Amino acid sequence: MRYVSTRGKAPTLAFDDVLLAGLATDGGLYLPETWPTFTKDQWRSLQGLTYQELAVEVMLPFVTPALSKEELTTLVNEAYKTFEHDAIAPLRQLGPNHFVLELYYGPTLAFKDYALQLVGHLFSHVLQKKNRRVTIVGATSGDTGSAAIEACRDREGIDIFILHPNGRVSDVQRRQMTTVPSKNVHNIAIEGDFDACQDLVKNLFADADFREEFSLGAVNSINWARIMAQVVYYAWAALNLGAPDRAVGFAVPTGNFGNIFAGWVARQMGLPIERLVIGTNQNDILARFEQSGVMEMTGVEASISPSMDIQVSSNFERLLFELLGRDGQKVDQWMTEFRQSGKNTLDAPLWNQMRELFASARFDDDQTRALIAEHLGRSGQLFCPHSVIGVESARVDEAFGRLPFVSLATAHPAKFPDAVQAASGKYPALPDRLSDLMEREERFVVLPNDAATLKKEIANTLK
């Protein structure tokens, strides 16, 4: 498989180079040149596989010929060893035709582990083959950071720098990043919000000399390999519910649009995914866009579901590329206009095309708290603030009840204990393996929102 940039100007690359590159040199995101599809019979033959076996089958077309099936199998088996549930991603029934896919059995208790544990192994493997080192730089609004750190810690050939917005991630989230004692792990708190962190990372990557000198790489949600690994659990859930012979819908708590875009990819590969519901908190740029066709930035507000506190959903560009007929020039124009004026509109026919598949729902903090309490009272189940938005977003869809719906539970409630306790009166306990987290020693530096200072810090650390 070769990969093309959504801006149409960067050279096409093979999987291993896309993995290491992250962002394309023209500022675009990479996507496969064509979408591999499986026939109904091929999908049927994958029913009943283990999660790991399915992962190999689903991802193989995307990594060939850079990786052999044997190599991929080894990496997949290694990656999911750190997961605590034998099913890896258990599907639990919540109500009639409504299921929750629990994606919080990885080392950092959130769905990002499902991709990043594999990506860490992919990086090590590919770097070893190429005899290279890489400096991973990433921005996090909470979960990506710890998941990336767990994926890269102590791995040969990798240094990792993770930026988080100072004071704007939960104690548990911060500690999951800053208490990792590994020498190759470096945490930086930026005086600014998540978008400031993300812009700093973009700034580093845009500096060709710096990028070259330190071999920058990214594992944030723009990295194609992460989307690819996430496709697996959509296929897993769909097959478990009777696909390809039964259509399904998914509802996904969404920030950067990376998770839900993986659902779109699973549909491209031939699975009957009929509905994709975007769930947001009050930072609802995607819900407003889905409901109006107008994408407009309005600033970020801190919420109790901080991993969805974003102003701009970077992975949306991938869907835009598809909607615009894979015309990189049009994507570039659209995105440039959006960045300049903070606003852009999708032409009505394309917007309607999007709405045939997508729906959206928005829940502010008060609604989210009420829903957490309601679920605890009704079924004894505690959801994290992101997950409960996923659960409830399914219900707004016109196909809810008719189609089996899968809501993605993206984090364990203990990852957001204060918000969950404030909402429900119940303090969610951390699983055993993290029970001493609040006593472990922290390590991080605080820097101003300034690219030059950041570059100096990275250069000094690596010296």
Ligand X SMILES: *Cc1c(COP(=O)(O)O)cnc(C)c1O
Which residues contact ligand X by CB under 6 A? Answer: 110, 112, 143, 221, 253-259, 307-308, 386, 410-411
Q: CA 384, CA 168: separation in Å to the nearest integer? A: 17
Q: How far is the CB of 17 from ligand X (least distance, A)?
A: 23
Name 102's bridge partners.
409
Cβ-based nearer residue to ligand X, 223 or 256:
256
Whether 9 is a known active-site residue: answer no
Q: How far is the CB of 258 from ligand X (least distance, A)?
A: 3
Q: How far is the CB of 109 from ligand X (least distance, A)?
A: 9
Q: Where are the alpha helices (DSSP H) in 64-188?
A: 69-79, 112-130, 143-152, 171-178
CA distances from 91 to 227, 364, 374 (A): 20, 27, 21
Q: CA 351, CA 262: separation in Å to the nearest integer? A: 20
Q: How far is the CB of 362 from ligand X (least distance, A)?
A: 14
Cβ-based nearer residue to ligand X, 249 or 258:
258
- Whether 211 and 204 have beta carbons less than 8 Å apart is answered as yes
| Token output for 325 | 């007929």
| Token output for 159 | 């240094």
Residues in the chain: 463
Q: CA 61, CA 459: separation in Å to the nearest integer? A: 38
Q: How far is the CB of 164 from ligand X (least distance, A)?
A: 13
Residue 197 is given by DSSP the state H
Cβ-based nearer residue to ligand X, 77 or 381:
381
CA distances from 271 to 58, 76, 392, 398 (A): 11, 22, 23, 20
Distance of CA 65 to the CA centre of its chain: 25
Cβ-based nearer residue to ligand X, 38 or 111:
111
Cβ-based nearer residue to ligand X, 4 or 110:
110
Beta strands in 140-292 (DSSP E): 158-165, 185-191, 216-217, 248-253, 273-280
Cβ-based nearer residue to ligand X, 168 or 386:
386
Contacts of 418 (CB under 8 A, 6+ apart): 170, 171
Contacts of 22 (CB under 8 A, 6+ apart): 205, 216, 217, 218, 219, 220, 222, 223
Q: How far is the CB of 3 from ligand X (least distance, A)?
A: 19
Beta strands in 363-426 (DSSP E): 405-409
- Whether 242 and 406 have beta carbons less than 8 Å apart is answered as no
Q: How far is the CB of 324 from ligand X (least distance, A)?
A: 21
Q: Kindly name the residue from 112, 343, 455, 456 that is annotated as catalytic.
A: 112
Q: CA 197, CA 450: separation in Å to the nearest integer? A: 10
Rg, C-alpha atoms of the chain: 20
Cβ-based nearer residue to ligand X, 66 or 235:
235
- Whether 153 and 182 have beta carbons less than 8 Å apart is answered as yes
Cβ-based nearer residue to ligand X, 396 or 451:
396
Contacts of 245 (CB under 8 A, 6+ apart): 40, 44
Name 64's bridge partners.
none
| Token output for 372 | 């957490």
Q: How far is the CB of 298 from ligand X (least distance, A)?
A: 18
Distance of CA 265 to the CA centre of its chain: 14
Cβ-based nearer residue to ligand X, 204 or 308:
308
Q: How far is the CB of 371 from ligand X (least distance, A)?
A: 15
| Catalytic residue numbers, as ranges | 112
